[in-house]
């Protein structure tokens, strides 16, 4: 795990965008895993800026999103399809055919989930998977108690997550309690992961993820087993880490050839 602590979320987000841009420049047809929620928004803005001002091109990349609500029309304004379109896809030169999100309206959900897994494999696997973390330590929509070997499937949201996400629905009655999500096993197969966490309200989950035992009680703690997991934090999210000073020292003393900035 590489833990990077920046003063502000803007700096951490810009760094995340730099890592993704570097990957695209290295491999123009990269496979990128994207996430929703508030955490990646500044990173997406920076990718859009790089596209507009630095001609970063997305026209050969393929994307797979982590999750989607079950039963919500993709055109619904609170669907993750809409969120991704608004925040990123409509603002860059990506081909519509290269965008993949779980279909929460699939008539046969187990079949769809199997096909989603197959599509990721056929695309050659995910080069970089972007992630956020829930206040309860969830990864994508893998809530506490999820199998650490799980694959794409249907899940039921916890009360904590329903409470956190209801702000995205004008009518809370419309908020589904079921979701489709990549499994933890699926996420762990990405060649690299970048997790973003900002604000003090994530500090407990971040501490458990980085310094707690690996456990289904904090699904994100599985990243301790990932070969190439980068955790980008602001000071609020890092505030409860026991080894905070050490992570800062390690990052500021990285050999030049390992640096991104």
- Annotated active-site residue 136? The verdict is yes
User: How many helices and strands in the chain, by DSSP H and E?
Assistant: 9, 10
Choose between 168 and 248: whose C-beta lies nearer to ligand GLP: 168
Question: Is 66 an interacting residue with respect to ligand GLP (CB under 6 A)?
Answer: yes
Q: Which helix (H) or strand (E) holds 229?
A: strand 229-234
- Annotated active-site residue 67? The verdict is yes
Strand-by-strand arrangement of the 67-69 sheet: 67-69, 178-181, 153-156
Question: Is 78 an interacting residue with respect to ligand GLP (CB under 6 A)?
Answer: no
- Annotated active-site residue 73? The verdict is no
- Annotated active-site residue 117? The verdict is no
Q: Taking CB positions, which residue lies at the least distance from ligand GLP?
A: 132
Question: Is 176 an interacting residue with respect to ligand GLP (CB under 6 A)?
Answer: no
Both structure tokens of 120: 């990721």
Stretch that binds ligand GLP, among 29-37, 89-97, 145-153, 226-234 (CB under 6 A): 29-37
What number of chain residues touch ligand GLP (CB under 6 A)? 14
Q: 121 exposed, middle or buried (CB, 10 Å; 0-12, 13-18, 19+)? A: exposed
Q: Which helix (H) or strand (E) holds 199?
A: none
Question: With DSSP H G I counted as helix, E B as strand and the rest as coil, what are the percentages for the chain, rounded to 5?
Answer: 45, 20, 40
Question: Is 161 an interacting residue with respect to ligand GLP (CB under 6 A)?
Answer: yes
Can you give the binding site for ligand GLP, defined by CB under 6 A? 35-39, 66-67, 132-134, 140-141, 161, 165
| Active-site residue list | 67, 136, 138, 143
């Amino acid at each position: 795990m590489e833990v990077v602590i920046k003063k502000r979320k803007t700096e951490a987000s810009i760094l995340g965008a730099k890592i993704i841009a570097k990957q695209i420049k290295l491999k123009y047809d990269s496979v990128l895993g994207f996430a929703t929620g508030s955490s990646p928004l500044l990173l997406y803005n920076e990718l859009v800026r790089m596209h507009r001002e630095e001609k970063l091109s997305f026209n050969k990349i393929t994307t797979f999103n982590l999750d989607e609500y079950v039963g919500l029309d993709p055109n619904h304004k609170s669907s993750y399809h809409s969120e991704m379109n608004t925040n990123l896809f409509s603002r860059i030169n990506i081909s519509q055919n290269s965008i993949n999100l779980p279909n929460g309206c699939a008539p046969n959900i187990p079949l769809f989930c199997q096909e989603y897994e197959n599509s990721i494999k056929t695309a050659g696997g995910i080069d970089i998977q972007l992630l956020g973390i829930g206040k309860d330590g969830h990864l994508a929509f893998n809530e506490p108690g999820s199998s650490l070997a799980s694959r794409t499937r249907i899940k039921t949201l916890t009360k904590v997550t329903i409470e956190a996400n209801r702000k995205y629905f004008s009518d809370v009655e419309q908020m589904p309690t079921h979701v489709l999500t990549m499994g933890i096993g699926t996420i762990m197969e990405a060649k690299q992961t970048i997790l973003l966490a900002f604000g003090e309200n994530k500090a407990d989950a971040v501490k458990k993820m980085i310094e707690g035992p690996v456990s289904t009680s904090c699904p994100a703690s599985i990243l301790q087993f990932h070969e190439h997991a980068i955790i980008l934090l602001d000071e609020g999210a890092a505030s409860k880490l026991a080894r905070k000073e050490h992570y800062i020292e390690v990052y500021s003393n990285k050999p030049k050839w390992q640096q991104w900035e």
